[in-house]
Amino acid sequence: MKTKTVPIDLAHRSYDIRIASGILGDEREFLDWIRGHQILAITNEVVGPLYLEELKKALPGKEVVEVVLPDGEQHKSLETVAEVFDRMLAVPLDRQVTVVALGGGVIGDLSGFVAACYQRGVGYIQVPTTLLSQVDSSVGGKTAVNHASGKNMIGAFYQPLRVIADLSTLRTLEPRQFSSGMAEVIKYGLINDPEFFAWLEENIGSVMDLDEAALAHVIERSCLNKARVVEEDEREQGVRALLNLGHTFGHAIETATGYGPWLHGEAVGLGMLMAARMSALQGWVGESDFVRIRNLLRKAGLPTEPSKDFTAKDLRSGMKTDKKVLAGKVRFILMQGIGKAFVCDDYDETALNRTLEEFAAG
């Protein structure tokens, strides 16, 4: 298939997202964006055996230093970052090093944070290998690690040199991981693209069957949606906050369950349904739209039922340390219908409490 390009226009920090099948090992996608001789390839023990050698084919003549981390959200921590810095300094790697993030959202977030901090900033390239990372976390320059008190609380805005999304990597994803990524895809439809939401309703079967044309459309449309928002508000001072639809609830679920039992997209998917329910309780979302949202999430393989994995009290505690808390008030991204999300800090506490009680245990 023809390679699709989605540009991110951020003046001197601009870059392209490249979308195609089989480009991970193509040196033309990499070498013009690498300044020095040294490469730090950060991956994990699941992705590394599948794609690290293919990546190295795209880096001829380069000194490639490999860091293979354990898999899982629980390893996106300052302790892991310190281990990576130890390896970089032991080599040593100089200021011309380029960090290449080969993996999903955890690897991308952590690698970007490492690149932002090492010797006050070195270049990095995102090579996302999961649906979630291809449509969301690799795009826009958010880098971070987790803290025991909250998700992504320690990080930086730091843009990559390029994003290379190889569709063929999605064929090695476990179905649960693919479904996790679908939460972020559905999110774009709910925020400001009702036509895309309707397209997903009509084509969800082809997407879940990994039809290549459907996947290419999903990734391109998602990246275009995110590009428009990031270009307008790179550092999340305004409209970019809309990209957090479902994340206030979702991050609280992840924090309450210890960054592991629930995948990020699973927590965000249920979080979006909770946001829809909270909006419905305030008369902003009709029952028919709520049912459409729930049905699409279900067809994407995402959780939509109440869970015993956390309590309403757990979620309230987690929300207190959310990055969207302002002057002690938790802000939510809520909806006035499909494709009409907005930032809300003036909401009915009763609606929030009822939502928590409906979806959590006790």
The answer to whether residue 354 is catalytic is no
Q: What integer pLDDT is reported at residue 195 of this predicted model?
A: 98
Give the pLDDT confidence of 71-82 residue by residue, as tens digits.
999 999 999 999
* pLDDT bracket for residue 361 (50, 70, 90): confident
The answer to whether residue 226 is catalytic is yes
Q: Average pLDDT in the 238-250 region?
A: 94
- In single-letter form, the type of residue at position 243 comes to L
The answer to whether residue 240 is catalytic is yes
C-alpha–C-alpha distance, residues 108 and 207, integer Å: 24
% pLDDT > 90, the chain = 90
Q: Average pLDDT in the 300-307 region?
A: 96
The answer to whether residue 217 is catalytic is no
* pLDDT bracket for residue 260 (50, 70, 90): confident
Give the pLDDT confidence of 277-292 residue by residue, as tens digits.
999 999 999 999 999 9
Say if residue 362's pLDDT is above 60.
no
Q: What integer pLDDT is reported at residue 76 of this predicted model?
A: 96
The answer to whether residue 120 is catalytic is yes
Q: What is the pTM of this model?
A: 0.92
Which residue in the list 76, 251, 323, 331 is annotated as catalytic? 251
Which residue in the list 151, 187, 264, 323 is annotated as catalytic? 264
The answer to whether residue 331 is catalytic is no
DSSP helix/strand/coil, 145? strand
Which residue in the list 62, 73, 76, 184 is annotated as catalytic? 184
Which residue in the list 244, 266, 277, 331 is annotated as catalytic? 244
Which residue in the list 75, 162, 247, 331 is annotated as catalytic? 247
Give the pLDDT confidence of 118-159 residue by residue, as tens digits.
999 999 999 999 999 999 999 999 999 999 888 899 999 999
CB 101 within 8 A of CB 144: no
Say if residue 242's pLDDT is above 90.
yes
The answer to whether residue 184 is catalytic is yes
The answer to whether residue 203 is catalytic is no
Q: What integer pLDDT is reported at residue 82 of this predicted model?
A: 98
The H-or-E segment that residue 87 falls in is helix 78-90
Q: Average pLDDT in the 288-317 region?
A: 96
Using alpha carbons, select from 41, 52, 125, 112 the residue that is nearest to residue 76. Answer: 112
CB 85 within 8 A of CB 40: no
* pLDDT bracket for residue 323 (50, 70, 90): low
Say if residue 326's pLDDT is above 90.
no
Lowest mean pLDDT among 39-48, 161-170, 254-263: 254-263
Which residue in the list 29, 73, 234, 236 is annotated as catalytic? 236
The answer to whether residue 28 is catalytic is no
* pLDDT bracket for residue 104 (50, 70, 90): very high
Which residue in the list 76, 151, 187, 226 is annotated as catalytic? 226
The answer to whether residue 244 is catalytic is yes
